[in-house]
Amino acid sequence: MVPFFTVILPVYNRADLLPRAVASLLQQEEQDWEALIVDDASTDTTSAIAQELAAQDERIRYVLRTANGGTAAARNSGIEQARGLFVTFLDSDDEYLPEHLSSRREMLLSHEEIEFLHGGVAVIGDPWVIDRFDTTQKIHINDCVVGGTFVIRRDQLSRIGPFREGAYADDALFFERAEEAGVTIAATDYPTYRYYRNVPNQQTSVYTTPPAPHGS
């Protein structure tokens, strides 16, 4: 049976934080989901912990990438194996509040025209991130899209294409492509995605130059 949600949880060397993220998933009011823990070739004990967590619930699958490619690559690997009606994300250093998935399901069922839902972030820590248009400046997260909050109809993902691997703000680039593809997008401000900005080595704290698009 097709689950309503596929939750893709990319992880790299987050052995200490992964259990918190998975615990927040298991505590969801909404139970009609599958989850893919995508291990981006971790070098610490993340692999063992992820497999142990997956063994505790049949809805959770462990996916191992053999080479580290970053969050976008891990999300793309998860998307390839997703079976849910909607695909969503949970970064390994973040967590859901208990009503996160149930509130999103209610919104989607109440407005069946929505193909892409996003927003609803509670920021823990520094709310300022590097501006991708001017890397000498910072902007508030409220002025950004946050990839962890994306909820997308799986049948629309082929229209949008994959996350751009190796690019800073790959979630913003993905969002822009969804707009260009004419996907029906809606936003919510119901803050049930807890976004931790007090964790070392977060992508929004380090700018990398985006690679050229394929074919250019």
Give the pLDDT score at 205: 36
Banded model confidence at residue 200, pLDDT cuts 50, 70, 90: low
End-to-end CA distance of the chain: 41
Q: Compute the distance between CA of residue 65 and CA of residue 23 in angstroms, rounded to an integer.
A: 23
CATH assignment, 5-205: 3.90.550.10
Average pLDDT over residues 186-191: 97
Per-residue DSSP letter, 130: E
Global pTM? 0.91
Averaged confidence pLDDT in the chain? 92
Q: What are phi and psi of 72, to 5 degrees?
A: -60, -45
Which residues does residue 6 pair with via DSSP β-bridges, in sequence order? Answer: 34, 87
Strand partners, 131: 134
Strands 193-197 and 95-96: antiparallel
Q: What is the pLDDT of residues 21-66, one digit of tens each?
A: 999 999 999 999 999 999 999 999 999 999 999 999 999 999 999 9
pLDDT tops 80 at residue 89:
yes
pLDDT digits (tens, 9 = 90+) for 155-184: 999 999 999 999 889 999 999 999 999 999
- Residue 128: pLDDT band (50, 70, 90) is confident
- Spatial distance between the Cα atoms of 95 and 11, rounded to a whole number of angstroms: 13
Phi-psi region of 201 (alpha: psi -120 to 50; beta: other; left: phi over 0): left
- Which two three-digit tokens encode residue 178? 């969804």
Residue for token digits 């913003």? 172
What is the rounded CA–CA span in Å between residue 146 and residue 115?
17
Name, in order, each residue with C-beta under 8 angstroms of 180's C-beta and a sequence gap of 6 or more: none
pLDDT score for 201:
59
Q: pLDDT at position 179, please?
A: 98
Domain ranges of the chain: 5-205
User: In the structure encoding, which two tokens stand for residue 154, read together?
Assistant: 């799986």
Q: What is the pLDDT of residue 215?
A: 36
